[in-house]
Amino acid sequence: MTLLLLIRHAVTEQTGKRLYGRTGGIHLSEEGRAQAERLAERLRGVRLDAVYTSPLERCVETAQAIAGGRRSRVVRELNEVDYGDWTGRSLPALRRTKMWARVRSAPSRVRFPSGETLVEVQRRAVASLDALAGRHPRGTIAVVSHGDVVRLAVAQYAGVHIDLFQRIEIAPASVSAVAIGDDGPRILRVNDTGDLSGLVGG
């Protein structure tokens, strides 16, 4: 059995304000750095065999806090959704578009303008996570990615249709734990921001 700890990066100055997507150069805010340190403390009692991360700075910085001096490995398939022409736009402005309603009601049928579909994101993320689990068949690994990527992965492992994935809340610096074994995936924690010492692998 592999224990996957799916972690959303800590906050930046833009979190909740803009859909900044794959924009580079966005770092953790002061609050985010403190969040990442608290996350590292919460994980201190959990034996980690490896730490993997999306290539974007906010994830890398969160992963570095968790890794505690060890090298975290970048996995490009864990990157943020490619929101295409929506990238960088404010969330209030996007909520006023007709496409926003479609994204909320039937996300499986939407392609972001010049970007990805959420079905494509889910496929690449879950394929990558399954490959990482295969690399650590009896290990515990931390995987730092983005809110929608983690939500989509949890939905797939839980057997939740992609059109309902937005019902899953994934807060910054939260941990969702999935055990991957011969009997299929088991969801152990979702959106956990508290004590993690009871996790398998601790």
* Those residues with Cβ within 8 angstroms of residue 54's Cβ, 6 or more apart along the chain or in another chain: 9, 60, 74, 75, 78, 79, 80, 144, 145, 146, 149
Structural domain includes residue 103: yes
Structural domain includes residue 192: no
The pLDDT of residue 202 is 42
Structural domain includes residue 190: no
The pLDDT of residue 72 is 95
Structural domain includes residue 71: yes
Would you call 112 exposed, middle or buried from its count of C-beta atoms within 10 A (0-12, 13-18, 19+)? buried
Dihedral of alpha carbons 75, 5, 145, 69, sign: negative
Structural domain includes residue 202: no
The pLDDT of residue 90 is 94
Q: Which single residue is written with the structure tokens 């570095």?
A: 64
Would you call 194 exposed, middle or buried from its count of C-beta atoms within 10 A (0-12, 13-18, 19+)? exposed
Tell me the pLDDT tens digit for each residue of 131-177: 999 999 999 999 999 999 999 999 999 999 999 999 999 999 999 99
Query: Which amino acid is it at 22?
Result: R
Q: 101 is written with which tokens?
A: 């309603």
The CATH number that applies at residue 174 is: 3.40.50.1240
Structural domain includes residue 46: yes
Q: Residue 121: CA atoms inside 13 Å, Cβ hemisphere, count?
A: 31
Tell me the pLDDT tens digit for each residue of 8-53: 999 999 898 989 999 999 999 999 999 999 999 999 989 999 999 9
> How far is the first Cα of the chain from the last one, in angstroms, to the nearest whole number?
14
Structural domain includes residue 189: no
Select from 84, 196, 78 the least CA-distant residue to 148: 78
Select from 158, 162, 153, 155 the least CA-distant residue to 132: 153
Mean pLDDT over 50-67 rounds to 98
Which residue segment(s) compose the domain that 147 sits in?
2-183
Q: How many domains does the chain have?
A: 1
Residue 201 falls in which region: left (phi positive, over 0), alpha (psi -120 to 50) or beta:
left
pTM of the model: 0.95
Structural domain includes residue 194: no
